[in-house]
Structure 1
Amino acid sequence: MTTTGTLRLDLAGLETRPSQVWGGIRLVPLVRAEPLPGLRLHPRLYCDSVGVVTVGPRTAYTSYIPHGFVADWGADSGDSGPAAAYGTQLRGGNGESGGGRGQGAGGRTPDGRGRAHRAPEPVASMPLRIHRRMARREAKHRLRFLPLHLALEGYLSLHFGGPTIAWEEWSQRALRQGLSPRVEEAYVGTTVRGLGDALKVFEIHPGQCGVLVHAADALAAAFVVPHPEDYRALHATLVQDLYGELVHQYALLSAAVPDFVPRIDESRVRSTADLRAAVAAERRAWAEFHDGTMAAGLLDADYTSRKVYGMGGFTLSRFLPAFRPREENHIGEVITDADGAVAYLKTFRLSEAQIRRGHLLARLAAHDWRLAATAEEFGLTEAEFAARIEAAGFGTLLRHRVAAQP
């Protein structure tokens, strides 16, 4: 059974290190003093394939899905010593099959495909892989889930059923099918200018368990794992992840961003201990500035979270923002331990158009899909609000006479 609640992201236990810059891309390492015990993550690569995921009766999510993550916890988590990463192979070994029929939520990535391994021989068409659910238990202490797509499907399914009451303003299609099909666009990391080079060139710090990715100094994505070895195994998957339109444009059009340069007063350095203290103070100053300013849009926001799966003492959830227009809004997924500490995190920054669509749907649902009441909240007439619905891409939800009003 799924449960909902509020969430405030807390990266306590993760230390921010000075950033590394490549053109318009800034990578900010996140380091743990000690790995978070009891949970390990491993990659499962699916090669270049379009994935279809059954998420409900007659409902499917379709997107480019190059890889999945396998979470091991409890006795099989591998914390006792070195262990082979389960599921790290060029092609998934589970032979997942099956699926649903009918239209449903969908995501598409029109601009390129990422690779983290040697490409297979060219084929006549891109293969299709059917997945059973976004998160699927494979063993007593093992869960396979599809990173980021779990969060994107949560956004696409926002009020997916459409109008809950058959008000006369809504079309029969809206009442029968809701928002099916629902489509959003995203960009594969290989098309985000400078990201691939930055991930190849920059060093991975000792103890690094995460990274914050900025494009033109706008926070693009956060990625956190429980163990440094997990991060080393999953670092390259960042270039295969999906990124929003805003991130793609910022990376494409921005000039190089300034690098972090520590400024130490030489007159106050008399010994090695003084130098260490000065370096530590600069690191603290950078971390306070970054976490309090550059990452504030992610860390200071309140989210609505929905539990997806319980894994012993850990919980996998996905979350949605409040959809505040003209502000920074992120969706994502998180694994927390019994104390609420973040073991795993992956986020996706929404574009302004995606924020407006989420806000529009949320306000319609809050007013039980009453067009007049929602239009009044926006300070618009019904005709003006209908035009806004049309501009957001939801015009098929309205009866023709409503959409055609002057």
Structure 2
Amino acid sequence: MTSYEPDTDPSAEPSGLLAGLRTRPSQVWGAVRLVPLVRAEPVHDLRLHPRIHDGPGVVDLGRRKGTYVSYIPHSFVAEWTGDGSPAAAYGTQLTGDRPEQEAVATVRLHFHRRMARQEAKHRLRFLPLHLALEGYLALHFGGPSLAWEEWSRQAVRQGLSPRVEAAFLGTEVPGLADALNVFEIHPGQCGVLVYLADALAAAFVVPHPEDYRTLHPTLVRDLYGDLVYHYATLMPPVPDFRARITGAGVRSLADLRAAAVRQTAQWADFHDTTMAAGLLEQGCTWEEVRRMGRFTLSRFLPTFRPKQDNHIGEAISDEQGRIVYLKTFRLSESQVRRGYLLSHLAAHDWHLADTAAALGMEKAQLCHRLESAGFGHLLRPDMRGRQ
């Protein structure tokens, strides 16, 4: 049985992506801070369970879209009912150590058809986080919309192919595996916010507490950006925010309970308005991926704000727009710059002079920034190296 804590204070709920969830006090391990998210009532008619792959994967994105290659440790299988009745996750099992006699010397390569694939009427298999990452990698993937003379032949013919981005596996992030192993799962917990050196690294939300207990270990197999990896490696341990209740005004157990509730609300307000503000306040563009009865699977991209938090992600929402599943990835500064430049180029039909003017710089400066961002191969050779 799973218990739920009563909470009638709507001010304890964050807005936007985390609407309907309540923030609970964090737990700290070194530079890692985990902030639990709970629901007053779970979502019963949508359930998630993992399907373990544990290795490199190749995804056929469909006709004219090419392939996506990455380390894909698991996929998620979503089960839902058509009439709103409770659904159950089945076949859930995490892989353990392989018996020595079954050890193999080669690496299995898994092939997947599409990022999200319908397997039955009420069952969808999708690749968590990779759905969002593919959306970022596909950003203006076709390259110049017009063959301006400044662009190379490769840019006009192939666009940004191949497009490559790097990330770290959770097992490589110092302290993360230990933190996930020792932290307690809160009663009714349906999600978590992962901070490294108090920089928001990832948000993870599922429909039901039992799903969260099953999927909690998969967080260490997820991908994390180089920014948060370096934060976890180089920064000192973060402070633990402990509630302190003074004796003033406390004359009974009821007074003590009220003081504890106030402390919890103050922490939640500080967290939602300050620590998680970068995620909750960013503007996003959404793309619908698949309808799932009364639910919709989508992914989103930020507006690419330089020198600010920028998160990409994927979500499942119900017919009222409430987020019931969420997974995010924090972009590094270099990834934000690439998205920022590509978005501005596309907004000006890839015309260098117009784009440079919109950004308040000379065309030569824009060429230098494109080369620094890793897009130098898109420019004609005589345009490169100009400052």
Equivalences for 1:56-205 in 2 at 5 Å? 56-57=62-63, 59-75=66-82, 79=86, 83=88, 85-89=89-93, 117-119=96-98, 121-205=102-186
Most deviating of 172-181 and 8-17: 8-17
Describe the shift of the 1:160–1:87 C-alpha distance in structure 2 as closer, same or farther (beyond 3 A): farther
Q: CA deviation at 1:371?
A: 0.8
Distance of 2:229 and 2:373 partners within structure 1: 21
Most deviating of 122-131 and 179-188: 122-131
In the alignment, does 2:28 pair up with 1:21? yes
Q: 1:53-76 CA distances to partner (integer Å, 9 max, x unpaired)?
A: 111335111000000001111159
Specify the alignment match of 2:293 in structure 1. Answer: 312
Specify the alignment match of 2:224 in structure 1. Answer: 243
Specify the alignment match of 1:288 in structure 2. Answer: 269
What stretches of structure 1 of length at least 5 have no aligned partner?
1-7, 91-115
Q: CA deviation at 1:361?
A: 0.3
Describe the shift of the 1:117–1:78 C-alpha distance in structure 2 as closer, same or farther (beyond 3 A): farther
Q: 1:98-124 CA distances to partner (integer Å, 9 max, x unpaired)?
A: xxxxxxxxxxxxxxxxxx622454432
Q: Any conservation in 2 of the 1:40–1:77 contact (CA below 8 Å)?
A: no
- Give the 3-state SS of the residue equivalent to 2:18 in structure 1: coil
Q: CA deviation at 1:402?
A: 1.5
In the alignment, does 2:361 pair up with 1:365? no
Q: Any conservation in 2 of the 1:40–1:78 contact (CA below 8 Å)?
A: no
- Give the 3-state SS of the residue equivalent to 2:164 in structure 1: strand
Distance of 1:248 and 1:30 partners within structure 2: 23
Give the share of equivalent positions with the same residue, in percent: 65
Give the partner amino acid of 1:365.
A
Equivalences for 1:29-44 in 2 at 5 Å? 29-44=36-51
Q: 1:1-42 CA distances to partner (integer Å, 9 max, x unpaired)?
A: xxxxxxx83322211000000000000000111102321111
Q: 1:116-168 CA distances to partner (integer Å, 9 max, x unpaired)?
A: 62245443232111100000000100000000000000000000000011111
Give the partner amino acid of 2:320.
D
Q: 1:345 aligns with which of 308, 326, 331?
A: 326
Give the partner amino acid of 1:235.
H
Give the partner amino acid of 1:236.
P
Q: Any conservation in 1 of the 2:345–2:351 contact (CA below 8 Å)?
A: yes
Distance of 1:351 and 1:341 partners within structure 2: 28
- TM-score, scaled to structure 2: 0.92
Equivalences for 1:45-56 in 2 at 5 Å? 45-47=52-54, 49-56=55-62
Specify the alignment match of 2:302 in structure 1. Answer: 321
Q: CA deviation at 1:272?
A: 1.4
Specify the alignment match of 1:214 in structure 2. Answer: 195
Aligned residues: 370
Q: 1:257 aligns with which of 234, 238, 254?
A: 238
C-alpha RMSD of the superposition: 1.6
Q: Any conservation in 2 of the 1:76–1:141 contact (CA below 8 Å)?
A: no
Describe the shift of the 1:76–1:126 C-alpha distance in structure 2 as closer, same or farther (beyond 3 A): farther
Give the partner amino acid of 1:375.
A
Give the partner amino acid of 2:283.
D
Q: 1:222-245 CA distances to partner (integer Å, 9 max, x unpaired)?
A: 000010000000000000000001
Describe the shift of the 1:326–1:242 C-alpha distance in structure 2 as closer, same or farther (beyond 3 A): same
- Give the 3-state SS of the residue equivalent to 1:345 in structure 2: strand
Q: Any conservation in 2 of the 1:70–1:87 contact (CA below 8 Å)?
A: no
